[in-house]
Chain A
Amino acid sequence: MTDMTMVTDVRAPMSGWAPTCEPAALARATVAFLDAASTAFGRATAYNTREEGQAAELAVHEALLRLDRGLYALLLTLPGVTDRARQVGVKNLLGVKGDTTIGADVERRVLSHLVAELPATRVFKLFVALRAGDEKAGIQRANNARTRKLILRVILGSSKVELWAVKYRTKMAEALTHAWGQRTTSILRSILGRSVETWSDKEQAIVRKALDRFARDVEKARACVAFVLRASVATSLPLLSAYEAAKTDLSLGKRLPLEVLEGIRSTFHKDVKKETVLALAKDSLTTGQKMQVQRRAAEAGVDVRMDVAEYDAVRLYLYAFEMGMTREILEALVAKARVTALQVRLRLGYGRIGILLDASASMTGSREQPLRPMATALALRDVLAHAAEATIVRAGGDGDGMLVRPSGATSLAEGLVELLVARVDAVFVLSDGYENGPAGRFAEVVAAVRAIGISTPIYHLNPVFAAESKGVRQLAQDGAVTLPVRAPEALGLGFVRGLLETDPARGLAQLADIALPQLLGKEA
């Protein structure tokens, strides 16, 4: 959307944004929120049961919501905030009434932005949760006019409505039924199952009120609703037509999403091999699928082209771990690091930095997401190295180039001293916090360094969070700041979090500064 009027409308209330309560209290609530919003996944961890974890997480959300609803809404748009936190945030903003410091119009746009940022699968899961509540996910039901309108606006106003109709047919029908209610849905199914010429004035009015006013493309939205509600009506929309045609001739479904085509194959063409489906759907794969199917495609002799520039640095490192590093990936990683570094540089404020990279075996991470901690640490290293003049020291690991595989024990103390001897302005330790050479040696050295009178800031950026490991572990209780960072894009946020603890008012203002462009950038 390129609506400059809207941009002005959004900026106006924020330009006068100021804490509505005591800044220190608001900063404390904000720090707690940022930690939860970037680390909590609503699942059990080694420390807590799911119920305990969710209770603490929801309390943190509600505390900030009560203190400053506007700031709460804006912070949900920040990079590094998990999808889970955004789902809870949408529920809270829809389910709890209250005055907002950013105005109702901006809050509505925040809601639309948050939902638009979620992957489609999570969007539909959220809609189902809003209808019925999801005790397992800690989401209570929110069934009001705002919720219903949001659902209709998101689905019917989406440019992807046709894709969603074939890909999430049942879930989309459920969400629409929730928004309209059983009776209206039934009436709409009946109306949409007939040609427009046969509709009475009253029926036309019903369709306009329930459907057309939320639609980006009225004809397309009507056809898609008819499809998901299984109203038998012919359509000329390409994906919907392909869906029906593929039932008799699989090759006619080549423009359908891979998983949809595989579903049709398994039901209507059991004798056709899976590799045939991959060959047919190779041009309609999503960016993520193109990466996921590379090995399978290579084995099947299917050429699936992927543009490495479309993937974030962490995913590229994970891909390189699996498939090997190529010049193309390497160049993409450097280019991405440069771009992100430009954003980070201003907030970093250091000319010369030291980077201590923990590449020990534990950076392999969990079985569920193998190598993600190492991939994240490598991506963070790249951004930091481009954001300032950097000296890099590595502890453990195999490999001489950019790709370092985790290996060996963790001994970080010597590396820290080495960097401080190099007289850097700040040290960034990229580590999961598991130290064994021996445990506590890093903290001993930090204490000794401070006793000497050296005040060089030491930041421990920890890429391992509750769901992947055991929560964020500190290397030193005193003398070093531990920041949870799950992606290079969230680096700036991490520094502001530190500022919130030392200068609450300035930190809050900086947060608002980061959050607003996020919202505007996505809408512009």
Chain B
Amino acid sequence: MTLTVEMILKGTGIGPMQSVGQMQVIPIVAPADATDDDATYAPPQLEVGTSCYGSVALRNANDKPTIVPYGAGWVVEERAQDHAIGSGAFLQAGEHKVLGKAMCIQQSQPGLIARAKRAMTILPAKLRAKALAVRHVEQYNKLWEHITAFNTALGIDAAANLVTFLRSFAKELDEFVAEFELVPRQIGAIVLVGGEIVGVERAPSAAYFAATWEPLVRVCYGSLAIAAGRSRATPPATRLPLITGAKTLEALRSALAELRTREEVLTQQLMSFVRPLRLERADRADDTLDDAQLWTVAGMRLGGQVVIAGDAVKYASLVAAN
């Protein structure tokens, strides 16, 4: 079956583009009459623990089912091996589930994660795609080679340790969270880095999106912005500059208004570009919950996972294929 981004974004609107440095975000917003109470899925606030390397035990502490995003990871304070998962998963309300095809992301760190509520991270976009590709492989160190390559490309310690990246760029990563602000009724985002579309996010509710946006912007997409910032100093072409020879405040006001219009046109052009993008579904679903199915999808530009219930796309998280 073929999906399009248009189908994923059906029934949503957009907000004004936010732009800081190399990253830009077009907010996807729910209709004004939508409420979180309608949402089927709770935000993924989970109890997490490990009992052996390469396996993660999750418990959904909510009173509603939840969707665990693919490439979710847990980086803990104590001395324990941090873990991430390849495929996403459904968890029923209160359900305890062991994901046996998880992966270690902190080479040479011994120790298991004690079960407790943990803050979730989401792997850097490039590693997230790699993790999704090896989601069926049962091997605790399956991501190490890619983490090493990822760290090396950023000029930091070559060990297969994601914490090295998180610590080396902690300042920049933290700033992304404050720089890109949620707008009312936001349930998703189109993410650009260096002027290129690198992500499409669609959550089942504003509450769900608010809970996942921080790890997405901080680490998943933040990693791409950091890499882009290292290779180019100038703002992307999609960040329009204010160039004016205004001699009066009125003229300046007009120039600003005109620039806003051009930004809106640009945003619409970007949406027109992304909406028809096609995605092919994998042969079989990765998980099922009632009438909803979790599918891995891939296209020429984007890939990731979506949740489809009936004809409706309830959730999607797509990152750039390259």
Given contacts A417-B256, A444-B241, contact A411 B174 (CB under 8 A): no
Q: Which of A363-402 contact B (CB under 8 A)?
A: 396, 398
By a CB distance below 8 angstroms, the chain B residues around A46 are 170-171, 174-175
Q: Which of B65-73, B135-143, B181-189, B310-318 contacts A (4 or more CB under 8 A)?
A: B181-189
By a CB distance below 8 angstroms, the chain A residues around B242 are 413, 441, 444-445, 448
A-B contact pairs, 19 of them (CB 8 A): A47-B171, A361-B181, A361-B182, A362-B178, A396-B181, A408-B181, A409-B27, A409-B183, A417-B253, A435-B20, A436-B19, A436-B20, A436-B181, A438-B239, A439-B21, A448-B244, A448-B252, A452-B247, A470-B174
Q: Which residue of A lies closest to B19 (CB)?
A: A438
By a CB distance below 8 angstroms, the chain B residues around A451 are 246
* A446 CB, nearest partner CB in chain B, Å: 11
Cα–Cα, bound, A447→B17 (Å) = 23
Q: Which of B150-184 contact A (CB under 8 A)?
A: 170-171, 174-175, 178-184
Q: Are B20 and A439 in contact (CB under 8 A)?
A: yes
Q: Are B179 and A436 in contact (CB under 8 A)?
A: yes
Given contacts A46-B175, A436-B18, contact A409 B181 (CB under 8 A): yes
Q: Is the CB of A346 closer than 8 A to any CB of chain B? A: no
Q: Which of A401-440 contact B (CB under 8 A)?
A: 407-411, 413-414, 417-418, 420-421, 432, 434-440
Q: Is the CB of B249 closer than 8 A to any CB of chain A? A: yes
Cα–Cα, bound, A47→B250 (Å) = 40
Cα–Cα, bound, A134→B159 (Å) = 36
Q: Is the CB of B322 closer than 8 A to any CB of chain A? A: no
The contact of B183 among A408, A421, A452, by CB within 8 Å, is: A408
By a CB distance below 8 angstroms, the chain B residues around A362 are 178-179, 181
Q: Is the CB of B15 closer than 8 A to any CB of chain A? A: yes
For B226-253 the 0/1 string (1 means CB < 8 A from A) is 0000000001000101101011111011
Q: Are B184 and A408 in contact (CB under 8 A)?
A: yes
By a CB distance below 8 angstroms, the chain A residues around B27 are 409
By a CB distance below 8 angstroms, the chain B residues around A444 are 241-242
Interface centre among A360, A413, A435, A436 (most CB of B within 10 A): A436
Given contacts A409-B18, A417-B252, contact A469 B178 (CB under 8 A): yes
Cα–Cα, bound, A451→B15 (Å) = 32
Query: What 10 pairs across the A-B complex have the smallest Cβ distances?
Result: A438-B19, A361-B181, A436-B18, A444-B242, A439-B20, A46-B171, A46-B174, A362-B178, A434-B178, A408-B183
- The contact size tier of chain B is 35 or more
Q: Is the CB of A67 closer than 8 A to any CB of chain B? A: no
Cα–Cα, bound, A47→B171 (Å) = 6
Given contacts A46-B175, A420-B249, A448-B252, contact A438 B183 (CB under 8 A): no
* A7 CB, nearest partner CB in chain B, Å: 47
Given contacts A448-B244, A452-B247, A452-B249, contact A439 B179 (CB under 8 A): yes
Cα–Cα, bound, A438→B263 (Å) = 10
Q: Are B183 and A445 in contact (CB under 8 A)?
A: no
Q: Are B246 and A448 in contact (CB under 8 A)?
A: yes
Q: Are A454 and B178 in contact (CB under 8 A)?
A: no
Q: Is the CB of B111 closer than 8 A to any CB of chain A? A: no
Cα–Cα, bound, A154→B120 (Å) = 48
Q: Are A360 and B181 in contact (CB under 8 A)?
A: yes
By a CB distance below 8 angstroms, the chain B residues around A361 are 181-183
Q: Are B252 and A452 in contact (CB under 8 A)?
A: yes
Q: Is the CB of B16 closer than 8 A to any CB of chain A? A: yes
Q: Is the CB of A306 closer than 8 A to any CB of chain B? A: no
Given contacts A46-B170, A470-B171, contact A452 B246 (CB under 8 A): yes
By a CB distance below 8 angstroms, the chain A residues around B246 are 448, 451-452
Q: Are B19 and A439 in contact (CB under 8 A)?
A: yes
By a CB distance below 8 angstroms, the chain A residues around B15 are 409
Q: Is the CB of A449 closer than 8 A to any CB of chain B? A: yes
Q: Which residue of B lies closest to A45 (CB)?
A: B171
* A117 CB, nearest partner CB in chain B, Å: 32
By a CB distance below 8 angstroms, the chain B residues around A410 are 181
By a CB distance below 8 angstroms, the chain A residues around B178 are 362, 432, 434, 469-470
Q: Are A437 and B16 in contact (CB under 8 A)?
A: yes
* A480 CB, nearest partner CB in chain B, Å: 16
* B223 CB, nearest partner CB in chain A, Å: 17
By a CB distance below 8 angstroms, the chain B residues around A454 are 249
By a CB distance below 8 angstroms, the chain B residues around A398 are 184
For B2-25 the 0/1 string (1 means CB < 8 A from A) is 000000000000011111110010
Cα–Cα, bound, A451→B252 (Å) = 11
Cα–Cα, bound, A184→B24 (Å) = 68
The contact of B20 among A432, A438, A445, by CB within 8 Å, is: A438
* A268 CB, nearest partner CB in chain B, Å: 33
Q: Which residue of B lies closest to A398 (CB)?
A: B184
Cα–Cα, bound, A438→B17 (Å) = 8
Q: Which residue of A lies closest to B25 (CB)?
A: A436
* A319 CB, nearest partner CB in chain B, Å: 24
For B23-42 the 0/1 string (1 means CB < 8 A from A) is 01001000000000000000
Cα–Cα, bound, A398→B183 (Å) = 11
Known contacts A417-B249, A470-B171; can you find 12 more A-B pairs with CB under 8 A? A46-B174, A362-B179, A414-B256, A417-B253, A417-B256, A438-B17, A438-B20, A439-B19, A448-B246, A452-B249, A469-B178, A470-B178
Q: Which residue of A lies closest to B240 (CB)?
A: A438
By a CB distance below 8 angstroms, the chain A residues around B249 are 417, 420-421, 449, 452, 454
* B117 CB, nearest partner CB in chain A, Å: 14
Cα–Cα, bound, A396→B247 (Å) = 29
The contact of A437 among B19, B170, B255, by CB within 8 Å, is: B19
Q: Which residue of A lies closest to B27 (CB)?
A: A409
Q: Which residue of A lies closest to B21 (CB)?
A: A439
* A116 CB, nearest partner CB in chain B, Å: 37
Q: Which of A461-495 contact B (CB under 8 A)?
A: 469-470
By a CB distance below 8 angstroms, the chain B residues around A449 are 249, 252
Given contacts A46-B171, A361-B181, contact A445 B19 (CB under 8 A): no
By a CB distance below 8 angstroms, the chain A residues around B182 are 361
By a CB distance below 8 angstroms, the chain A residues around B239 are 438
Cα–Cα, bound, A361→B144 (Å) = 37
Cα–Cα, bound, A46→B285 (Å) = 41
Q: Which residue of B lies closest to A360 (CB)?
A: B181
By a CB distance below 8 angstroms, the chain B residues around A452 are 246-249, 252
* B191 CB, nearest partner CB in chain A, Å: 13
* A456 CB, nearest partner CB in chain B, Å: 10
Q: Are B16 and A411 in contact (CB under 8 A)?
A: yes
For A41-60 the 0/1 string (1 means CB < 8 A from B) is 00000110000000000000
By a CB distance below 8 angstroms, the chain A residues around B24 are 438
* A452 CB, nearest partner CB in chain B, Å: 6
* A368 CB, nearest partner CB in chain B, Å: 13
Cα–Cα, bound, A524→B21 (Å) = 53
Cα–Cα, bound, A448→B179 (Å) = 24
* A51 CB, nearest partner CB in chain B, Å: 16
By a CB distance below 8 angstroms, the chain B residues around A445 are 242, 252, 256
Q: Which residue of B lies closest to A434 (CB)?
A: B178
Q: Which of A217-263 contact B (CB under 8 A)?
A: none
Cα–Cα, bound, A435→B180 (Å) = 9
* A383 CB, nearest partner CB in chain B, Å: 26
